[in-house]
Structure 1
Amino acid sequence: MELAAEVVEFRVPVGSEKTVFVWNISATVSEEEISHSLWKIFSEFGVLYSVRVCKNASVTEPGYYALVKFFSSRDALRAQQTCNKQRLFQESPLKVCLCTRQKEFRHEAQKLNSVKCQDLANHYLGFNGWSKRIIALQNISGLDEQENDDGMAQTQSYSVKYICVVEIVLRDHGLCSRGIAVAEELLENRKENGKVAVQYRPVQEAIGESLSDEDLQGLIQVNDLSWMPCNLDEDEEPFSEISLYEELEEGI
């Protein structure tokens, strides 16, 4: 019997069938080491979206549990069946099960950031199986000046806005798709004489180490324009909607 094709969307994965619950993790190592070990082990079964490690409740024995979220429900099932009751990175065996939802909740699928999209495309299409290029990039920024009541200080509001058209090409399949987006950031700078106040901040890390402050005086640091604040907690499904009772009753 052939399995039906699974659609993997380029969005934040939603659904308990894509989430693996891991417990019986000993407290012999740090949370960072546990997270690294889990990511290394479970990524062998497919692309991971996230690995979250948490401490056990104070009423139980010291230790940790983890939630591992896949993009594919098949990858999650395969990982659960393979890793359950196995000594993966500690002497005692881990217990692994798929999460089940207590009741149906509808979540609006959130957009996936560009880094995760590229990881997903490289996994399923191959590193050379797709490409992207910028078709058009135009500055559509505006400038708005306002004067205070005292007539002394002036405020200039800069609407930094860019429009971009990008094309994605799937070479092996002869397909292409174009998308358009606008990024905007509102900046306000005030100075008593009405001029724009520009604050200089030395560039850190590699540039700061190779250039002196005198060399950096004429440079302006430009940061990426974000569509919205990135909050990992909003991407994750609430723990209260996840149930493990069915698996626990089966003696996993």
Structure 2
Amino acid sequence: MAEVLEFLVPTGNGRTLLVLGLETNATEHALYLAFSAFGPLYSVRLHRNAAVAGPGYYALVKYYSTRDASRAQLACNRQPLFQKSALKVCLCTRQRPFPQQNLALNSHKCQELANHYLGFNSWSSRIVTLQDISGFEENEEEDSRALLASQRCKYLCIQELTIPQHSICARGVGVAETPVDPSQGFLTATRSAQKLAAQKALSDAFQKIVLVVLENGKVAVEFISPQEDLVDCLADEELKGLLQVTDLSFSQLNPEGEEEILSDFSMDGE
């Protein structure tokens, strides 16, 4: 059977293992080494036992794949692994009483997941445009002192993700805003905003594809971006230097700052 993996924070049943019986010298690094042998991990969290349970720890190990989590549970349950006493490893299958929000993976996690299933040299990315959009909300009546205190650096980035073997090309958009610290200067804020915008754009590009992992280990890639997504339809020449901000309010952006911005831009020079 095939399993579909999205570039989202893993949720739902069957992806998280509860590890009980960890001794006092257990570490997250040791847990990561033991359980990552069965597949890529999203997170490893080590927690101290409650006082009534005695000394030691328990851990939550979260996989992207339910198949990997199931394999790890069967192989590691009642095994000592990296300690003297055996561990108890259970699948967390308890339903949460409230719906979970699908959150995008950050760019680093996206790259880790892509490298595992597709290979380090199987994909590439490039920045199509990186544009300064600072200052369009400034009030001309503000005095120079107030303007300096409230000055922020804002950048828009469009980045292209390419997977040649699967004939996939997807573009993502990222917006970043950082305050200007007078003690560090405008250049530091500019670099920080540019870097963050590029990271968000790459993450947004990965949201437009899914991995289809077959039981034999083979992987297919599917493009899931909506057809009306302009950033994927326009040529580089139509994007570079042609984006102008009209009435974009950064307070309306979601926490990731990448989802609802395309409708607020106008394309000039066509």
Superposed CA offset, 1:181-223 (max 9, x none) = 2222354x7xxxxxxxx3149xxxxxxxxxxxxxxxxx95345
8 Å contact from structure 1 (residues 167, 177) kept in 2 = yes
Instruction: Count matched residues.
Output: 190
Structure having the higher helix fraction is: 2
Q: Give SS of 1:67's match.
A: strand
Letter in 2 for 1:70: Y
Point out where structure 2 has 5 or more consecutive residues left out of the alignment.
198-270
Matching of residues 20-31 of structure 1 within 5 Å: 20-27=17-24, 29=25
Q: Give SS of 1:68's match.
A: strand
Deviation, structure 1 residue 103? 4.6
Deviates more, 1:169-178 or 1:153-162: 153-162
8 Å contact from structure 1 (residues 146, 154) kept in 2 = no
Match of 2:70 among 77, 95, 117: 77
The match for 1:17 is 14
The match for 2:188 is 221
Match of 1:47 among 40, 43, 49: 40
Match of 1:123 among 116, 122, 126: 116
Matching of residues 68-147 of structure 1 within 5 Å: 68-142=61-135, 144=138, 147=142
Letter in 2 for 1:18: R
TM-score by length of 1: 0.69
Q: Post-superposition, which runs of at least 4 consecutive aligned residues in structure 1 deviate over 3 A? A: 145-148, 219-223
In structure 2, relative to structure 1, the CA distance for the partners of 1:132 and 1:93 (3 Å cut) is same
Q: Which structure's CA Rg is the greater one?
A: 1
Letter in 2 for 1:155: A
Matching of residues 205-244 of structure 1 within 5 Å: 220-222=187-189, 224-225=192-193
8 Å contact from structure 2 (residues 154, 176) kept in 1 = yes
Over aligned residues, Cα RMSD in angstroms? 2.2
Q: Following the alignment from structure 2 to structure 1, what is the Cα–Cα distance between the partners of residues 73 and 28? A: 17
TM-score by length of 2: 0.65
Q: Following the alignment from structure 2 to structure 1, what is the Cα–Cα distance between the partners of residues 37 and 48? A: 25
Deviation, structure 1 residue 123? 0.4
Point out where structure 1 has 5 or more consecutive residues left out of the alignment.
190-197, 202-218, 228-252
